[in-house]
Amino acid sequence: MPLGPSLLVSAMLFTIGVVGVLLRRNAIVIFMCVELMLNAVNLTFVALSQRLGLEGQVFVFFVMTVAAAEAAVGLAIIIALYRHRDTLNLDSINLLRG
Amino acid sequence: MRDIVYYAAAIMAIAAALLCITRKSPIASALWLVYVLFNLSVLYVLLDAHFLAAVQVLVYAGAIMVLFLFVIMLLNIGRLGVSDVKGAGGKVIALVAGLVLLGELAALGSIELPARMGQPEGAVARMVEQQGAIQALATPLFQQYLVPFELTSVMLLAAVVGAVVLAKRKL
């Protein structure tokens, strides 16, 4: 398969993920947009691994493991946050903003 | 035929990603994200990464997204009354930032790739054909990248302990 279209799809998915993070207020939806960005980068790795060797696919393997760990810890944080604040709206979770 | 499947999966992935970030209900967003992940695994198959396509469905569409849906249903936020999408100002900022980012990535695309890449065209496909999809990936993973692989297991243990500590009401 050609390299160009894969990189284009990956760039578009990454951009959609960024727009989603900027557009939404719900913590869980923002978290899902971050997963979308991770997947876009994975697609870049797989596409480039066709020309640069299989190491790219090994990196995708590691990214998936890190994403799984990140999802587990992140969702635990969201549960703890919801228990304390009774909301997932990031506009009202502004303790560090002062 | 390959091209048709490839472009169909690519277009559906982008359309589903757009739906994912615009749906009001978090459940609908999560299910559209599952659809994106399935389409990406189709792209992985066409890009000669068969094992990663299987792992994508198992780990991402299976485990991670089930965890998301589980938390959404546990917190009972599946049906939000008001939309959490930001107002007009936020939409304009998000759109402008997205277009700028897409422009920057497109500018990156005009860079000439080095003429001599690591592998000739079709080399990975041939390697997968000779060694099998799993062995071709396992050889560098367990030889060259053995130490990172072992470190990953430590990270997973830390994540398990961290998740339990954070989510538990009282230790």
Q: Which residues contact residue A95 at a Cβ distance below 8 angstroms, ignoring those fewer than 6 apart?
A: none
Q: What is the mean pLDDT of residues B115-122?
A: 68
CB interface of A with B, residues 47-86, below 8 Å: 47, 49-55, 57-58, 60-62, 64-73, 75-80, 82-83
Instruction: Tell if the CB–CB gap between A36 and B75 is shorter than 8 Å.
Output: no
pLDDT at B115 over 70: no
Cβ contact A31:B52 at 8 Å: no
Q: What is the mean pLDDT of residues B109-129?
A: 72
Task: Check CB contact of A37 with chain B, cutoff 8 Å.
Answer: no
pTM, two decimals, is 0.90
Give me the interface pTM, i.e. the ipTM: 0.91
Instruction: Output the DSSP codes for B28-48.
Output: HHHHHHHHHHHHHHHHHHHTT
Whole-angstrom Cα distance, residue B56 to residue B137? 15
Of A46, A68, A77, the CB nearest to B63: A68
**pLDDT of amino acid B117:** 66
Instruction: Tell if the CB–CB gap between A67 and B60 is shorter than 8 Å.
Output: yes
Show the DSSP H helices in B47-145 as ranges.
50-55, 65-74, 88-109, 123-131, 133-142
pLDDT at B19 over 90: yes
Average pLDDT, chain B: 87
Which residues in chain A have Cβ-Cβ distances shorter than 8 Å to B17? 12-13, 16-17, 36
Q: What is the mean pLDDT of residues B10-35?
A: 92
Q: Which residues contact residue B119 at a Cβ distance below 8 angstroms, ignoring those fewer than 6 apart?
A: A50, A51, A52, A53
In chain A, which residue's Cα lies nearest the Cα of B102? Answer: A15
pLDDT in tens, B128-148: 778 888 888 888 889 999 999
pLDDT in tens, B57-96: 999 888 999 999 999 998 888 776 777 888 888 889 989 9
**pLDDT of amino acid B33:** 94
Q: What is the mean pLDDT of residues A50-64?
A: 87
Of chain A, the percentage scoring pLDDT greater than 90 comes to 55
**pLDDT of amino acid A70:** 92
